[in-house]
Chains A and B, each alone.
Chain A
Amino acid sequence: MIAISHVSKSFNRKAALDDVSLKIDSGQIYGLLGPNGAGKTTLIRIINQIIQADQGSIQVDGKFLTENHWKDFGYLPEERGLYKAMCVSDMLVFIACLRGLTRHDARNNVNHWLAKFDISSWSKSKIESLSKGMAQKVQFIAAVVHQPTYLILDEPLSGFDPINVDLILSELKAMKAEGKTIILSTHNMKSVEEICDQVGLLHKSKLIVEDTVHKLRENQRRGEFVVRFSGNMIALANALWTEFELLETLELGDNRFQIIVKQRGERSFEDLASNLMGKIKLESIAERLPSMQEVFLGLIAKEEEKNEE
């Protein structure tokens, strides 16, 4: 577990992090979210010991973070950087050795990862000759080649095509299954929904919320339901009456529809189900939770409002 306690950092008297505390449980994928300039990269650099916090502490499995932890961490920075004149395998072996592996083990691991990503043929290619996407793959391998327990990824999906996004996401899920702890900073909310267990939202150098993805979405629920049915729309309108408001209608063909309705007052899921039952032929009813994108925007807007007040 990584426990960050009351960490503060400022640059030229401007706060980049202000008393941030959060906990990342082992075997979790933790999403570190926030708009640009919120302090995510600063926090990530502090966890990676690239810079030091002005105040506060970080503990890893109950022990204060020291240089001995370097070998346990893997890091993919937002702004990718590799030695352009080096060949792929030499670059990766170099990084793995810096992370504490012997040259022999480093070579074995590099070969394993190159084969896994089906890029063994690039092994002797110079980094400068690779396309952006190819270099991103090499950079990802550089972060994981030494088999770290904790993986910190800053915008890991940027620059990848959908096929490679899928590859990286499934790799992250596999690592999680192996018990690795992953901290993910991203603006890709779809991937947050897909793989993150917990998220922390930073805004203007402060942590404004920390919770599981599911709870965050639930907390922001707006009483909206997605209904699929067959029948006619007049019967539906009669069934909804004044208790539910029809927001969207989508015709699916063959007299089938998908609608989104919003509850009014204290009406519940059960009310909606009983209202519709027998009047139309129901296929499914599900509550529509807000997307992480909506949660993110909603929380930031609320925070801005609070600040204005």
Chain B
Amino acid sequence: MRNSWLIASREFMERWNSRSYKIMLILGPLLILLFTYFLLKFGDQGKNSLRVLIADPANLFDNKITSHPTKAIDYKFYTTYLDYAEFRDGNRFKEFDAFVEINEKILQNKTVKLFYRESPSLDIKMKIKFELERRTEERLIAEFTDLSIDRFRQLKQPLNVDFINVYDPKNQADNNRGWVGIFFGSLILFFIGLFGMTILRSTSKDKSNRVVEVILASVRSSDLMLGKIIGIGLSALVQLIIWAIFVVIGLVVFKEFIFTDIFDASNYEGIQYAADIKNDILLNASSSRYNAFIDLIFHRINYGVILPVFFIFFLVSYFFYAAFFMAIGATSGSESDGQQFVIPIFCLLLLSFYAGFVAMYYPDSFLATFFAYFPFTAAMTVLVNVSMATSASGLVQVLFVLLILLVHAFIFLKIAARLVKNGILNSGHRLNLSTIWLWLKKS
């Protein structure tokens, strides 16, 4: 084991001292933060303030909208009939971004048309819809009931139909949180793909420059394999931790200094607004869609659970997949030869994404269960299950999946060790399945 650590530390230092590794240490989190910045900055691309002309020839709205109209929308009333073409081309209407046509049958057909020059943001759309609806409601109350507006609103309660999973009565499972699992699972797959290829290339390079013969005169081939996998894995882990530290610092900076208005609930008028319209299922859904990203990152991820599960599955999955990359690197005649054999491994990595979506949308399906126990897709599936906190993915199931993955990692590392032993000194040949089979049979 001493020699494995010596090899591991050499592999780690080789990566640590390489320029590309250092560049990626900084560039990786910077790209993630840049992506997040753009998502926050330009997440809602539409126009965020609007001057709206309400054409109300029947004066049904009585030149009024709500008692506390949104600041971002400036309403003006026009009590003459207005055609959209006239609005579009007329010079005196140029100052308005949109006009709302209130027809005299609005109380019957409950339809309003809004013509815009430039599409408003989703938030503005929601607010206009809400305010027009509230004003129409007031007119309806006055026209058809003897109730006060406040009394009517007290009585008016929509029928909520909650769809509840009997295994998840508290409705902890949440598709949005499933995305967290997909994100963490993708990180695992990304690092496995990236550093798996590093293992393959490093092994091929050692073969081609013949240093492997010098090393094998001092250590067992299995020690060499373990050392390589641990060393390269360690560099992956360090990179991941440094990325995580940078990203967390970046997100804190975003929250505290750059996007204070978005993150601070008291500054975000949409929160108050959303609270006002919480009975409106449709609007509520739209609202949550707008700030889902922020909500997800800062409120809905159970970091205390997901991070330990992520690191454990990261390590075990890495060892599991590393066995394949190492075996291919050691048995292939050249680096390009080995890359062909990597394609099936990458197909299995891609299958993990599919497994993640299956686990997110059909968590109780047979396929989701299968993917959870299938070693190639276990990490992604378990992370989705854990992030969604489905009761079916309890601690026992996670531990059982981990055990299966551990056993498979051990078996495949054993197989890889045999292939490394029999294949690593051969080079220049063309790798084929019969050669692999031959080396597998050889003791």
B223 to chain A, nearest CB (A): 10
Q: Which residue of A lies closest to B426 (CB)?
A: A11
Which of the listed residues A51, A67, A81, A97 has the most CB atoms from chain B within 10 Å of its own CB?
Answer: A81
Q: How far is the CA of A283 from the CA of B277 in the complex (A)?
A: 124
Contact B218–A70 (Cβ < 8 Å) = yes
Chain B residues with CB below 8 A from A81, complex form:
206, 209-214
| Smallest CB separation, B8 vs chain A (Å) | 12
CB neighbors of B among A124-150 (8 A): 142
Contacting B at CB under 8 A, from A54-109, are: 67, 70, 73, 75, 77, 79-86, 94-95, 97-99
Taking CB atoms, residues of chain A closer than 8 Å to B440 are none
A158 proximal to B (CB < 8 A):
no
A49 within 8 A of B: yes
A102 to chain B, nearest CB (A): 11
B283 lies within 8 A of chain A by Cβ: no
Q: Determine whether the beta carbon of B14 is less than 8 Å from that of A85.
A: yes
Contact B10 A94 (CB under 8 A): yes
Chain B residues, Cβ within 8 Å of A94:
6, 10
Known: A51-B425, A70-B218, A83-B14. A98 touches B213 (CB 8 A): no
**B248: interface (CB < 8 Å):** no
| Contact, CB under 8 Å: B218 / A80 | no
Q: Return chain B residues, CB-CB under 8 Å to A79.
A: 210, 213
Contact B209 A82 (CB under 8 A): yes
Tell whether, in the assembled complex, residue B220 and residue A67 are in contact, meaning their CB atoms are under 8 Å apart: yes
Interface centre among B18, B211, B212, B438 (most CB of A within 10 A): B211
| Docked complex Cα distance between A75 and B217 (Å) | 7
Q: What's the dominant secondary structure at chain B's contact region?
A: helix
Q: Report the bound CA distance from A266 to B438 in whole Å.
A: 60
A82 to B213, CA, bound (A): 10
Whether A75 lies near B220 (C-beta < 8 A) is no
In the bound complex, CA of A142 to CA of B6 (Å): 16
Q: Is B253 an interface residue (CB 8 A)?
A: no
CB-contacts of B8-35 with A (<8 A): 10, 14, 17-18
B302 at the A interface (CB under 8 A): no
A48 within 8 A of B: yes
CB of A92, distance to nearest CB on chain B (Å): 11
* Interface 0/1 of A20-48, CB less than 8 Å to B: 00000000000000000000000001001
CB distance from B443 to the nearest CB of A (A): 8
- A82-B209, A83-B14, A86-B14 are contacts. A98–B215 as well, Cβ < 8 Å? yes
Q: Which of B209, B212, B218, B219 has the most CB of A within 10 A?
A: B218
CB-defined contacts of B7 to chain A, threshold 8 Å: 98
Whether B425 and A50, one on each chain, are in contact in the complex, defined by CB atoms closer than 8 angstroms, is yes
> What's the minimum C-beta distance from A189 to chain B, rounded to whole angstroms?
25
**Structural contact, A73 and B14, CB atoms closer than 8 A:** no
Q: In the complex the two chains form, is A73's CB within 8 Å of B217's CB?
A: yes
A67–B14 Cα gap in the complex (Å)? 27
Q: Report if A80-B217 is in contact (Cβ < 8 Å); known contacts: A85-B14, A94-B10, A97-B6.
A: no
CB of B176 closer than 8 Å to a CB of A? no
Chain B residues within 8 Å of chain A by Cβ, number: 22
Contact residues in B for A48 (Cβ distance below 8 Å):
216-217
A70 touches B217 (CB 8 A): yes
B14 touches A49 (CB 8 A): no
What's the nearest-Cβ distance from chain B to residue A302, in Å? 33
Q: Looking at the assembled complex, report how far the CB atom of B199 sits from the nearest CB atom of chain A, in whole angstroms.
A: 16
Evaluate whether A98 and B219 lie within 8 angstroms (CB atoms) in the complex, with A50-B425, A85-B14, A86-B14 already known. yes
Task: Encode contact with A along B195-225: 1 for CB under 8 Å, 0 otherwise.
Answer: 0000000000010011111111111100000
Q: Cβ of A83 and Cβ of B211 under 8 Å apart?
A: yes
| B3 CB-CB contact with A under 8 Å | yes
Quick check: A50 and B211 within 8 Å, CB to CB? no
Residue of B nearest to A97 (CB): B6
Residues of B contacting A83 with CB < 8 Å? 10, 14, 209, 211
Q: Return the CB mask of B428-443 against A: 1 if under 8 Å, else 0.
A: 0000000000100000
Residues on A with beta carbons closer than 8 Å to the beta carbon of B206: 81
* Given A70-B218, A86-B14, A98-B218, A77 contacting B209 (CB threshold 8 A): no
- How many Å lie between the Cα of A70 and that of B3 in the bound state? 12
Closest CB of chain A to B373's CB: distance in Å?
A: 38
Closest to B210 in A: A81
CA distance A98 to B209 in the complex (A): 19
Q: Which listed residue, B14, B218, B438, touches A95 by the CB 8 Å rule?
A: B218
Q: Which residues of B contact A73 (CB under 8 A)?
A: 217
Chain B residues closer than 8 Å to A70, beta-carbon distance: 217-219
| B242: min CB distance to chain A, Å | 22
15 further A-B pairs in the complex, CB-CB below 8 A; given A80-B210, A98-B6: A45-B213, A49-B217, A50-B425, A70-B219, A75-B214, A77-B210, A77-B213, A79-B213, A81-B206, A81-B210, A81-B212, A84-B209, A95-B214, A97-B6, A98-B215
| A-B contact list, 18 entries, CB within 8 Å | A48-B216, A50-B425, A67-B220, A70-B219, A75-B214, A77-B210, A77-B217, A81-B206, A81-B210, A81-B213, A81-B214, A83-B10, A83-B211, A85-B14, A95-B218, A98-B215, A98-B218, A99-B218
Give A residues with C-beta under 8 Å from B.
12, 45, 48-51, 67, 70, 73, 75, 77, 79-86, 94-95, 97-99, 142
8 nearest A-B pairs in the assembled complex, by CB-CB distance: A81-B210, A81-B211, A98-B218, A75-B217, A79-B210, A48-B217, A77-B213, A50-B216
